Amino acid sequence: MKYSSTKSGFSLIELMIVIVIMGVLSAIAVPKLFGQMAKAKASELYSSAGSYIHLQDTYNAEYQDRIGSWKIIGYIMPSNKDFKYYEDNNEGGNPAASTVSVDEGEPAAWKAVNNVPLNDCNEGSIWQMDVKASNNKAFNLEYNVSITDGDNGACHTITRHFSGLDSHNKIVDAP
């Protein structure tokens, strides 16, 4: 057996190429990772509002022509540091509220405000849903949602499904 006296290893050029490739990959991957983290935090809004809609619809089906407060319908707001939840401008709901007649047309509001920036979605942006009587004979309640996030529309981007909550109970005519 013959042993070589030269040491084998990576050349400086090979190491530099690997470092450049890793830099390019991290420049692409890191922003996408943070974008997914913001979407994951914001996904709470869709499920929280969906729970509210489900509970409100159930209450309205049982007690015709009534909209219940959070306490009456059994809605429990999520608790975390990223969002604050409001019912009729009362943070965490209004424990004294009971019900409001649909005929009175007063909205039983659900609102969430972010405490932390979510990528380009600024802190203090508002996701709101109001409930009112519906003229549609198939459903007693109509939900109207809105997102207030300034001019950039970044909150709409990370919570794009939230805007679809207002059409969950509308009948689409079949062709």
The pLDDT value given to residue 18: 94
DSSP secondary structure code for residue 121 in this structure: B
pTM: 0.72
The pLDDT value given to residue 34: 72
CA dihedral sign of residues 98, 99, 105, 109: positive
The pLDDT value given to residue 173: 43
**pLDDT tens, residue by residue, 37-69:** 888 888 888 889 999 999 988 888 888 777 888
Say which residue, 150 or 146, is predicted with more confidence.
Answer: 146
The pLDDT of residue 175 is above 50: no
The runs of H, that is alpha helices, within the chain are 12-62, 70-73, 154-158
**pLDDT tens, residue by residue, 24-36:** 988 887 777 777 8
CB 126 within 8 A of CB 111: yes
**pLDDT tens, residue by residue, 66-103:** 788 888 899 988 888 889 988 877 777 766 666 554 54
The pLDDT value given to residue 174: 39
Cα–Cα distance measured from residue 38 to residue 57, given in angstroms and rounded to the nearest whole number: 30
Cα–Cα distance measured from residue 5 to residue 2, given in angstroms and rounded to the nearest whole number: 10
CB 155 within 8 A of CB 128: no
Tokens coding 32: 């996408």
The pLDDT value given to residue 21: 93
The chain-wide mean pLDDT, for the chain, equals 79
DSSP secondary structure code for residue 161 in this structure: T
